[in-house]
A = this chain, B = another copy of it.
Amino acid sequence: MHAEMVRANPRSRLVSVHDVNPEAAAALVGDTQVRSAASPGEIFDDPEVDAVVVASVTSTHADYIEAAVAAGKPVLCEKPIDLDIARVKSCQAAIAGSDVPVQLGFNRRFDPGHRALRDAVKAGEIGDLVQLILTSRDPSPPGREYLLGAGGMIRDMTIHDFDLARFILGDDEPVEVWATGAPLIDPDLCEIGEIDCVMIVMRTAAGRQVFLNNARQAPYGYDQRVEAVGSEGMLQSSNRTPHGLLRYGASATAAQMPYHDFFIERYRDAFVAQLSHFLDKATGRDTEVPSFDDGLKALALAEAAYRALNSGRSERVGS
């Protein structure tokens, strides 16, 4: 998906691709002049490559960020930076001092609805923000294999909500986290110590209340909502359907289509905008994108949530 978006964007040209699955890379390259790199190193060394998009497995992210920065190539890297916060910090140290742009793949920041909500909050449209409620439910659970490598539901899935909450909150950072979670949809997940339903409450430095609510299964489609409650009004960034057909019959009226199936459909506009912002950043234009530090802060919230899950009490967010 990322490669196709690079190719379709009039401001970028796809130069070289590497995939652990060579057939996937070959299919993508086809009979075009795009190179099929034998290793990621080939890409970082390629003088024709101006910027890099990393969408590999999580365990490689920190290495590739370091390599891209060392090669002086702006990098857009999928989240999370690493499951191990120590590795994230060593990566942070390794790239410290460099001014090569590093952008984290928190695509939801670029969703037009979520962003319009953030802008309206920032503009004071609802007075003072007092409560923020994020609902995020996947259509169906991933397989066991994925789960075993994903680092836990909160690090893998809630991480997007931590970042989106921080994006909307602006300067007012969450300082305290409380969480409850359990395998309610698939109780067998307890065999691998995993959960599939989670509720998290955060308190910010200014005392605002934030609620995050995730489930790994929502048969009615990918459920992605944000609700911001202010002293003078409320805003909701609501779900989207692929088109506007409504059905009326003996048992229901105005029944909408199921939601977009999953993130590729739901956040297509966001992915397009994310790349556009990355191209701005990579070419030195003024823009605000999720930084390495944002990736670290989202992970710190996940860490605090896991501590809360064990302690049964609200936990302070580490730094």
- Is B207 a contact of A184 with CB atoms below 8 Å? yes
Q: Say whether A203 faces chain B, with CB atoms less than 8 Å apart.
A: yes
- Is A252 a contact of B249 with CB atoms below 8 Å? no
Min distance, Cβ A270 to any Cβ of chain B, angstroms? 10
The stretch of A43-51, A87-95, A144-152, A255-263 in contact with B is A255-263
A312 touches which one: B182, B255, B313 (CB < 8 A)? B313
Q: Say whether A241 faces chain B, with CB atoms less than 8 Å apart.
A: yes
- Is A208 a contact of B235 with CB atoms below 8 Å? no
**Residue numbers in B under 8 Å from A209 (CB-CB):** 180, 182, 184, 197-199
Interface of A is mostly: mixed
Distance between Cα atoms of A209 and B233 in the complex (Å): 28
Min distance, Cβ A179 to any Cβ of chain B, angstroms? 9
- Per-residue contact bits, chain A 212-226, to B (CB 8 Å; 1 contact, 0 not): 010101111101000
- Is B211 a contact of A199 with CB atoms below 8 Å? yes
**Residue numbers in B under 8 Å from A72 (CB-CB):** none
Q: A251-B258, A253-B257 are in contact. Are A201 and B199 (CB under 8 A)?
A: yes
Q: Say whether A285 faces chain B, with CB atoms less than 8 Å apart.
A: no
The stretch of A16-24, A52-60, A109-117, A299-307 in contact with B is A109-117
- Per-residue contact bits, chain A 230-242, to B (CB 8 Å; 1 contact, 0 not): 0111111111111
- Per-residue contact bits, chain A 296-319, to B (CB 8 Å; 1 contact, 0 not): 000000000000000111100000
A to B CB contacts below 8 Å, 17 in the list: A111-B243, A113-B244, A116-B257, A131-B213, A178-B201, A180-B201, A180-B209, A197-B209, A198-B209, A217-B231, A220-B233, A220-B248, A232-B249, A237-B245, A252-B256, A253-B257, A254-B255
Q: Other than the known A252-B257, A253-B259, what 7 A-B pairs have Cβ atoms closer than 8 Å?
A: A112-B243, A184-B231, A215-B229, A238-B244, A240-B244, A253-B255, A313-B313
Taking beta carbons and an 8 Å cutoff, which residues of A are in contact with B?
A: 8, 111-113, 116-117, 120, 125-126, 128, 130-131, 133, 137, 178, 180, 182, 184-185, 197-199, 201, 203, 207-209, 211, 213, 215, 217-221, 223, 229, 231-259, 269, 311-314
